[in-house]
Amino acid sequence: MIPILVTGKSGQVGWELQTTLAQLGAVTALDVDQMDLAKPDSIRRVIRELKPGIIVNAAAYTAVDKAESELDLAMNVNGIAPGIMAEEAKRLGAILVHYSTDYVFDGESKRPYVEDDPPNPVNAYGKSKLAGERAIEAVGGHYLILRSSWVYSARGSNFVLTVLRLAREKPELAMVEDQTGSPTWARWLARATADLLLRRSVNQHDSGTYHLTAAGHATRYEFAQAIIDAMKDISGDPGRWAKLRPITSAKYPLPARRPSHPVMSMNRIEKVFGMVAPHWRVHLRDFLSETASKVPLGAPTSSSGR
């Protein structure tokens, strides 16, 4: 069986990859205590010991706001480490799969971004992820850079879980209506990754950057409303949920600026791999149906907030 190395095993995508990639080979999944992406020697040592045929880098520095004050750390993990993995993969003749983000774009385009559109990140996190893409491209070899958007799962901290919690705790939530993305379930992203590798061997011709998100898009306000509406139906509890109030990003200042409309086209991955993504609402309902019993449905408090 092909030895497969997965980084970020406790993360949203990394956790799911351990199951989906098992059909391709023997998976070794590691976290930061076993392979520290901020330390080049750690990366090289582990890869040279394991000699994987496929490396899937699901680890990243994802604290978008903290990256503004921790740019060096974000750049080490997101910008430099992927290039080192690409070098080691090329030396082994292995395939590297690396996840990137819609935040490499500034969100000013009036049409969905294609892979060849010039990136222009507006925050430190986006800049660090773009640096990782360019480091991989500079090395070459066999690789897939998969840009995704607004990933959520039952693990860790993400928008869906936050909305579900706050919508039961507060009578009103303010949600920005001028930031748009394509909500993507981590499980589908992991399954799609395995599917890409199963459909045909990634060769030099296929190597490159691809957009891989759920179909469709929504504003943060629309996404939050869809989460609440679906959960009302699934839980059988139509009342006792927070009312949403749309606001602009200017009313909700954060350390890191967010791109307003970084929606991405999936045409390239459909053409090359035949990959067709379902609409984000379909997977959101599937996700909520599965996790409904795990979400506390207590009454909201009398306080207000986001």
Q: Tell whether 167 is covered by a domain.
A: no
Residue 116 domain-assigned (yes or no): yes
CATH number at 44 reads 3.40.50.720
Judge whether 256 lies within some domain.
no
Q: Is 244 contained in some domain?
A: no
Question: Is pLDDT at 305 greater than 60 in this prediction?
Answer: no
pLDDT-based confidence at residue 198 (cuts at 50, 70, 90): confident
**Residues of the chain with pLDDT > 90: what percent?**
88
Residue 104 is predicted with a pLDDT of 98
Residue 7 placed within a domain? yes
Number of domains in the chain: 1
Nearest to 197, CA basis, from 52, 21, 30: 21
What is the overall mean pLDDT for the chain?
93
pLDDT tens-place string over residues 17-28? 999 999 999 999
Domain extent at residue 91: 2-157+184-215+262-278
Which whole number is the average pLDDT over 182-198? 96
Lowest-confidence range among 77-86, 246-255, 286-295? 286-295
Q: Report pLDDT for 295.
A: 57
Per-residue pLDDT tens digits for 22-76: 999 999 999 999 999 999 999 999 999 999 999 999 999 999 999 999 999 999 9
Alpha helix (H) residue ranges in the chain: 12-20, 40-50, 71-74, 81-92, 124-139, 159-169, 186-199, 220-235, 267-273, 280-291
Does residue 165 lie within any of the structural domains? Answer: no
Does 233 score more than 70 pLDDT? yes
Residue 46 domain-assigned (yes or no)? yes
180 pLDDT more than 60: yes
Annotated catalytic residues are 125
DSSP 66-133: GGGT-HHHHIIIIIIHHHHHHHHHHHHT-EEEEEEEGGGS-S--SSPBPTTSPP---SHHHHHHHHHH
| 212: nearest Cα among 259, 262, 266 | 266
Three-class DSSP category at 302: coil
pLDDT value, residue 306: 24
The answer to whether 12 and 152 are in contact (CB under 8 A) is yes
Strand order from edge to edge, sheet including 208-211? 25-30, 2-7, 54-57, 95-101, 142-148, 208-211
Residue 227 included in any domain: no
Residue 257: per-residue pLDDT: 97
